[in-house]
Amino acid sequence: MKEKNSRRGIRPVASGLLGVLMPFALASTAQTPTHANLPIDVTASAALPVNLENAPPPSPTQPMPYRAALRPDQVQPLSPEFNVAAIESLAEQLTYGNRVPGMAMAIVHNGRILSARGYGVTDISNPQQVDAHTVFRLASLSKAFAGTMAGLLVNDGTLRWDSKITDYVPGFRLATPEATNALTVADVLSHRVGLTYNAYDRDVEANADYYTLTQKLASAPLRCAPGDCYAYQNVAFSLVGDVVFAASGNFYEQAVEKRILKPLGMNDASLGLAGIQASSRWARPHVRSRNGWVSLTPKPTYYRVAPAAGVNASASDMAQWLLAHTGHRPDVLPAPLLATLHAPLVSTPGEMRSGWRRERLDSAGYALGWRVFDYAGHSVVFHAGAVQGYRGLVALLPERDLGIAIMWNGESSLPSGMMPTILDRAIGLPTQRWLDVDTDFGSDNLMADGAPARDGKKGASSERAVASPR
């Protein structure tokens, strides 16, 4: 299965976040792609499965500006196998027997918070109970905040998805003038910059500053023209922070706090290393040593690429985030914007290789800071995050109006089976043994390119704990 060329197109499918495709152009022309008269099928049926491989190619390569509205009668009920108390019990058990030090989980359904709780401890050496307000580092879950922030500016009319990066960052350069002048905001947010995978992540890990690394992009080899292929990025992705500053006049961190965190009531959330350390209760990162878990001080490295990995949040915060992205905070995130953010722009078959993804996914794509999966015939909007000592997963199941966020503070992939377990129970799929199975986090692991050498287990770093991490 070969990755599709995104210039030939991946149709943003009808099953995006909100179901039935209906023509509803945003009032602002800033949302509209350069190609006029886009075809809209008003007869499209609800809950079509995402099939990125067989989708007919549309002409535009920028996000579609149309609303996909799901009527209340089109939301399917959760399967009888879905039991919140049983799911919370599974989460609690994952902190037993030294599996992970602590976890937090949020589940929302039909605009209601079903669960927002903590499990285990914040710090193995100074244990305090993790609760709903304990803050975790989100790592690459932060990318959805960047896409949303850019989308809000598009919605305002101060930015376009097809705006050129050089219009807002005049000093930016790629290896050729043609590539430099072609790169758009949507290309950056969907990892279609044209660079090799994880360009300069090793330098991030070595404490290089962001602006030095953006200058190095001018000499980085290109795999393709911007927009023509997918390759996951952290440095290049963070160019959106410069765009937000130039378009809004606010530094990226301030803009996210002003437009997203405060309006949604994400009162524990913050950005940056100083943000998490200033939290009244936060979960320290843990790595394995021969004597068990050891807590560390968080590294500042990936915080320097804030749009890619800068957000910190609690289970309580993530419940509000999930409510917004399942369409229940239109005062902050309007439905047309959500439909655009969650519509895939490029195929990513490499994300289907291992663990539950190999078993459950029929296709995979990347939207604007979100992944979109065909999960056994059901559309799932998803992202994972992994950085030293922290892991996290977020998923939206649009057809059931369900949102799930799981975070933990141990460098282990074992709890990642919680996500397919919950999705299977929500849909009513046959039971599989997903829990306690070590799973590769794929591209979303920020340690993937910059971490020390791996040992024999996927997703596990062979680096032993040290008192003062880099």
Contact 114, 107 (CB under 8 A): yes
- Asked if the structure places residue 89 within a domain, the reply is yes
User: What tokens appear for 168 in the block?
Assistant: 């807002």
> For the chain, what is the mean pLDDT?
83
Model confidence at 38: pLDDT above 50: no
**CA-closest candidate to residue 365, choices 232, 170, 262, 454:** 232
Interval 183-195: pLDDT, tens: 999 999 999 999 9
Model confidence at 155: pLDDT above 90: yes
Give the pLDDT confidence score for residue 120 in this predicted structure: 98
What's the Rg (C-alpha) of the chain? 21
Give the pLDDT confidence score for residue 69 in this predicted structure: 52
**High-pLDDT (> 70) share of the chain, %:** 78
Give the pLDDT confidence score for residue 443 in this predicted structure: 61
Can you name the residues that pair with 289 across neighbouring β-strands?
Answer: 292
- Asked if the structure places residue 436 within a domain, the reply is yes
Give the pLDDT confidence score for residue 94 in this predicted structure: 96
Tell me the CA distances in angstroms from 24 to 38, 66, 340, 359, one per residue in order.
Answer: 12, 5, 12, 36
- Asked if the structure places residue 361 within a domain, the reply is yes
Residue that is written with structure tokens 């229940």 in the block: 328
- Asked if the structure places residue 244 within a domain, the reply is no
C-alpha span between 282 and 103 (Å, rounded)? 11
Predicted TM-score (pTM) of this structure: 0.84
C-alpha span between 361 and 36 (Å, rounded)? 34
Give the pLDDT confidence score for residue 437 in this predicted structure: 64
Alpha helices in 25-164 (DSSP H): 84-93, 143-156
Higher pLDDT, 456 or 154: 154
DSSP code string of 185-206: HHHHHTT-SSBPTTTTHHHHHT
> How many domains would you assign to the chain?
1
* CATH number for 363: 3.40.710.10
Residue 409: CB atoms within 10 Å: 31
- Asked if the structure places residue 223 within a domain, the reply is no
- Asked if the structure places residue 75 within a domain, the reply is no
C-alpha span between 367 and 144 (Å, rounded)? 10
Interval 404-438: pLDDT, tens: 999 999 999 889 999 999 999 999 999 898 986 65
Model confidence at 323: pLDDT above 60: yes
- CB burial of 264-277 (b: ≥16 within 10 Å; e: otherwise) equals bbbebbbbbbebbe
Contact 364, 52 (CB under 8 A): yes
* Residue 295, helix vs strand vs coil: strand
Mean predicted confidence (pLDDT) in 204-221: 96
- Asked if the structure places residue 106 within a domain, the reply is yes
Tell me the CA distances in angstroms from 352 to 57, 90, 219, 348, 432, one per residue in order.
Answer: 22, 25, 31, 8, 17
Interval 267-322: pLDDT, tens: 999 999 999 999 999 999 999 999 999 999 999 999 999 999 999 999 999 999 99
Residue 288: CB atoms within 10 Å: 18
Contact 134, 104 (CB under 8 A): yes
- Asked if the structure places residue 101 within a domain, the reply is yes
Q: Which domain holds residue 115?
A: 84-141+272-444
